[in-house]
């Protein structure tokens, strides 16, 4: 079993930082989801992340940097930072925003999965920041951390989820810092800044309108030439049960036809819908932020009931729902 430490104890932060500096793996809370962290400049430590996740080595990882000296960290990893990216950094870091920047050829090649770019993010979670600061004192410039789940599965939003994902690892192979439930709940928004204009690679809780207003430039959608990003694979974030998205009318009709035969179908919906008696169900919040916060925990919870199917009411159309809609459609793909 991985070693689980309460992150509110100061010695836990120092222990996490030491593990990172020694080339070990740390399960780390961020405001979005938990990350599986290693020193981004230590190739063998980073390879251990790919191994533990079962993630292909050509899927690049995000490098996390401390908020007290972001300039030094940015300059360590990035070759250049376009003006619109500087504006996004100034306004939104620390926070749930990852920027893809041209990478200095000599750094973090393994973490970057062979790309000539690097994904940089400055998380706002106090535990993540405390660990990044303490690790920096041991000479760690940045921490590579994908979501702390096995490849293709639902991202973890609690320390218990991380323990579940990596239960097979020994206590000297992974230290997990418990910082409670993640307040955002879905992964960071990713903006590619290597093409002369901002390109949205993965929607999150920051709306396109807000990003455009800050960048001072229109945000383009990704095209086929965009770099590889597992978070942009069509099927990802998937529970074991099959997820299907339907609107309220379709759901009502389907449950009516199936009657008691639907008792092995879980339901996650905002609208009042009559599902089978006794079937697992959760109510989706009407507020997009609240829905994002609980989304992955609810999918795990419904999955754990052993149902074969999870039927989910299609989220509303508004841009504030982009992130939730994106994760649900990938879970359903």
Binding range to Mg ion, per CB under 5 A, among 91-99, 143-151, 285-293, 315-323:
143-151
Binding to ligand TXA, residues 297-326 (CB under 6 A): none
142 binds, among Mg ion, ligand TXA, none (CB under 5 to 8 A by kind): none
Determine the size of the site formed for ligand TXA (CB under 6 A).
Answer: 29
Binding to ligand TXA, residues 247-276 (CB under 6 A): none
190 binds, among Mg ion, ligand TXA, none (CB under 5 to 8 A by kind): ligand TXA
Q: Minimum distance from CB of 204 to ligand TXA (Å)?
A: 7
Nearer to ligand TXA, 43 or 309 (CB): 43
Q: Minimum distance from CB of 80 to ligand TXA (Å)?
A: 14
157 part of the interface to Mg ion, by CB under 5 A: no
Q: Minimum distance from CB of 55 to ligand TXA (Å)?
A: 8
Nearer to ligand TXA, 169 or 279 (CB): 169
Q: Which residues of 127-141 are buried (b: 16+ CB within 10 A; e: fewer)?
A: bbbbbbebbbeeebb
Choice from 15, 129, 147, 189 touching Mg ion (CB under 5 A):
147
Binding to ligand TXA, residues 22-41 (CB under 6 A): 30, 32-33, 35
32 part of the interface to Mg ion, by CB under 5 A: no
Q: Provide the mask over 81-120, with x wherever binding to ligand TXA is found by CB under 6 A and - wherever it is not.
A: -----------------x-x-----------x--x-xxx-
Q: Distance of CA 80 to CAs 173, 192, 330, Å?
A: 35, 13, 33
42 part of the interface to Mg ion, by CB under 5 A: no
Cα gap 71→75, rounded to integer Å: 6
Binding range to Mg ion, per CB under 5 A, among 62-70, 140-148, 170-178, 314-322:
140-148
62 binds, among Mg ion, ligand TXA, none (CB under 5 to 8 A by kind): ligand TXA
Beta strand pairing call for 97-102 and 117-121: antiparallel
Choice from 46, 62, 159, 241 touching ligand TXA (CB under 6 A):
62
Task: Kindly list the residues in this chain that would bind ligand TXA in the complex (CB under 6 A).
Answer: 30, 32-33, 35, 59-62, 98, 100, 112, 115, 117-119, 121, 123, 145-147, 187-188, 190, 227-232
């Amino acid at each position: 079993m991985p070693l689980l430490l309460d992150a509110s104890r100061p010695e836990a932060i120092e222990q996490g930082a030491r593990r990172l500096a020694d080339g070990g793996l740390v399960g780390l809370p961020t405001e979005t989801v938990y990350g599986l962290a290693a020193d981004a400049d230590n190739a063998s430590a980073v390879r251990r992340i790919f191994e533990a996740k079962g993630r292909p080595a050509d899927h690049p990882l995000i490098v996390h940097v401390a908020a007290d000296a972001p300039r030094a960290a940015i300059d360590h990893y990035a070759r250049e930072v376009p003006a619109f990216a500087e504006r996004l950094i100034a306004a939104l870091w620390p926070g749930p925003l990852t920027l893809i920047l041209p990478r200095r050829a000599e750094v973090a090649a393994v973490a970057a999965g062979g790309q000539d770019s690097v994904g940089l993010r400055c998380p706002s979670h106090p535990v993540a920041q405390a660990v990044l600061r303490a690790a920096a004192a041991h000479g760690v410039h940045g921490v590579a951390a994908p979501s702390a789940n096995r490849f293709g599965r639902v991202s973890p939003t609690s320390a218990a989820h991380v323990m579940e994902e990596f239960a097979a690892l020994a206590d000297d192979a992974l230290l997990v810092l418990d910082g409670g439930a993640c307040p955002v709940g879905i992964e960071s928004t990713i903006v590619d800044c290597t093409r002369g204009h901002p390109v949205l690679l993965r929607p999150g809780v920051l709306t396109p309108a807000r990003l455009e207003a800050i960048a001072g430039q229109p945000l383009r959608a990704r095209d086929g030439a965009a770099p590889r990003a597992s978070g942009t694979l069509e099927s990802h974030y998937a529970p074991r049960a099959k997820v299907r998205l339907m609107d309220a009318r379709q759901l009502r009709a389907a449950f009516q036809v199936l009657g008691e035969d639907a008792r092995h179908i879980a339901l996650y919906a905002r609208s009042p819908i009559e599902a089978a008696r006794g079937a697992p169900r959760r109510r989706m919040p009407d507020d997009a932020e609240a829905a994002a916060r609980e989304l992955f925990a609810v999918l795990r919870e419904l999955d754990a009931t052993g149902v074969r199917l999870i039927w989910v009411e299609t989220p509303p159309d508004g841009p504030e729902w982009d992130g939730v809609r994106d994760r649900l459609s990938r879970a359903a793909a």
